Amino acid sequence: MRVVVQARRAARQPAWRGIGYGLLLALPILLFLVSLTLGLYGIDVSDVGRILLSPLWPNLADDIPDAAQTIVLQIRLPRVLAALLIGATLACTGTAFQGIFKNPLVDSNLLGVSSGAGFGAALMLLIKAGTLQVQLAAFAFGLLAVSLAFFGSRMYRTAPMIVLTLMGILIGSLFNSLTSLLKYVADPLDTLPAITFWLLGGLTGVTWSDIPLLALVTIAGSLFFWLIRWQFNILSLGDAEAIALGINPDRLKLMIIVVATLMSAIAVSVGGVIGWVGLVIPHAGRILVGPDHKRLIPVSLSLGAAFLLLIDNVSRTVLPSEVPLGVLTGLIGVPMLIALLRRNRTGW
């Protein structure tokens, strides 16, 4: 009798796993609809749905006030999309970095991407440049930081990944010091608050012009990681095993680093420095679906998008004034990571 019960449980388990996997992937869609209803101006879900469909059927939302349509289409929708895309990007790049370095405590900050992008944005804010210039500078200096870390590591032939990690930490510290210098010379009544608020991360100033490039890079980078998902699994076995299976691990890791850096730099250039997403979400994904990147990459994308969107909803609705996202992700991410590490006692 016990054998029969165990056989039935084993037969049902794949079905339950498939349902749970589908729910994880559908989570951002549910939060997307809910997020568009939240705010000082409350809007029903049915009205939100009709407003979203109004560009296709113009008469569908004729009875809805123009103010509500403007709030949904011009203010909340680009912000919600940006939160989904940035959260997915940071989680995906965190998964990629942790996979190639085989280290559960690394994310996109490892190679100085966020530090370099933060310095570029602070420099533009110091000279009072426009929003586009701020984003371009953040993107350019993010790539510069990684380039310095990479070419600096090429001077040493032993343990290239370890040297690259150390160079990334050093370059990140350098750009953090330069950013502190900019904050020191900035006008404390005008420029300094703008620099500080941007470095803390936020989606207040997101507009439709920010979405196309962010969406393109996020989708293309995620698709690239999905296509090489089996190579991630091979890299986790070690370089010797990868070479034996016909893979050049150094070249593959370099390609992954370049793509992940591009994705991280774009995300930082739009939303500022938002930490902990790329560190916490991959841990949660491994606990839920295991280390196989075939499932881990889609789940990390979904959880990252849902997590940052949830944080953004808390930021703009719970307290009277909006709280920077970097503050909330730190306050929530630290206890989450402690709980996840306690839960996952089997190690890396």
Residue 220 is predicted with a pLDDT of 96
Residue 135 is predicted with a pLDDT of 80
Domain residue limits, the chain: 79-107+201-343
Q: pLDDT category, 175, cuts 50, 70, 90?
A: very high
For 282, the token pair is: 């991959």
Report which listed range, 111-125, 281-295, 297-311, is most confident.
Answer: 297-311
Which of 204, 179, 202, 203 has the alpha carbon at shortest distance from 126? 179
Which of 29, 85, 91, 90 has the alpha carbon at shortest distance from 283? 91
Signed CA dihedral, 281, 285, 291, 297: sign only:
negative
Q: For 179-238, how does the pLDDT look when each residue is reduced to its tens digit (9 = 90+)?
A: 999 999 998 888 888 888 888 888 988 999 999 999 999 999 999 999 999 999 998 888
Residue 84 is predicted with a pLDDT of 96
Selected residue with higher pLDDT from 297 and 41? 297
Q: For 234-286, how does the pLDDT look when each residue is reduced to its tens digit (9 = 90+)?
A: 988 887 888 888 889 888 988 998 899 889 888 988 898 898 899 899 989 98
Which of 89, 92, 157, 75 has the alpha carbon at shortest distance from 117? 89
Distance CA 234, CA 99 (A): 10
Residue 9 is predicted with a pLDDT of 46
Q: What superfamily in CATH does domain 79-107+201-343 come from?
A: ABC transporter involved in vitamin B12 uptake, BtuC (1.10.3470.10)
In the predicted model, what is the mean pLDDT of residues 303-328? 90
Which of 214, 183, 176, 213 has the alpha carbon at shortest distance from 197? 183
Report which listed range, 8-22, 30-44, 179-193, 209-223, is most confident.
Answer: 209-223
Distance CA 114, CA 335 (A): 22
Contact 144, 129 (CB under 8 A): no
